[in-house]
């Protein structure tokens, strides 16, 4: 089962319209038609709406649809995203230096 989402600009609602569905085979869909919100107290937890890979696929479909519609992470998320990206990039470059040094038989490939 795969989740699909569509996010389109809706000026009449001053925002976007979201549609989500889960493919269940042979071209059939389970379409999300209603979201119910319940008020909970500050120390009350709720049951998850989805579990496991289905939850992951649902969130990924929503994120992909948002990205396709031009949405990006909130500004308060950017510092941690940039730190993570920089850390990953530095690790990748260090790996490439080591591989290049090994292939070119350079002992000290330096920073």
Amino acid 66: pLDDT: 92
Amino acid 4: pLDDT: 92
What is the average per-residue pLDDT within 87-95?
Answer: 90
Amino acid 12: pLDDT: 86
- Nearest-angstrom CA–CA distance, 64 and 5: 8
**Domain identity same for 60 and 83:** no
At residue 109 the predicted structure's pLDDT band, cuts being 50, 70 and 90, is: low
DSSP 57-95: HHHHHHHHHHHHTT----GGGHHHHHHHHHHHHHHHHHH
**Domain identity same for 20 and 62:** yes
**Domain identity same for 6 and 23:** yes
Domain limits for position 98: 74-111
**Domain identity same for 47 and 3:** yes
**Domain identity same for 14 and 68:** yes
**Is the per-residue pLDDT at 20 higher than 80?**
yes
**Domain identity same for 55 and 19:** yes
Amino acid 111: pLDDT: 57
**Is the per-residue pLDDT at 82 higher than 70?**
yes
Q: Domain count of the chain? A: 2
**Domain identity same for 13 and 44:** yes
**Residue bearing tokens 């992909």:** 64
């Amino acid at each position: 089962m795969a989740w699909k989402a569509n996010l389109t600009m809706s000026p009449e609602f001053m925002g976007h319209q979201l549609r989500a569905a889960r493919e269940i085979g042979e071209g059939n869909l389970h379409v999300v038609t209603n979201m119910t919100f319940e008020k909970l107290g500050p120390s009350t937890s709720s049951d998850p709406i989805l579990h496991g890979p289905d939850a992951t696929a649902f969130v990924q479909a929503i994120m992909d649809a948002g990205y396709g519609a031009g949405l990006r992470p909130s500004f308060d998320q950017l510092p941690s995203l940039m730190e993570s990206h920089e850390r990953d990039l530095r690790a990748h470059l260090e790996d490439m230096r080591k591989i290049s040094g090994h292939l070119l038989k350079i002992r000290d490939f330096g920073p």
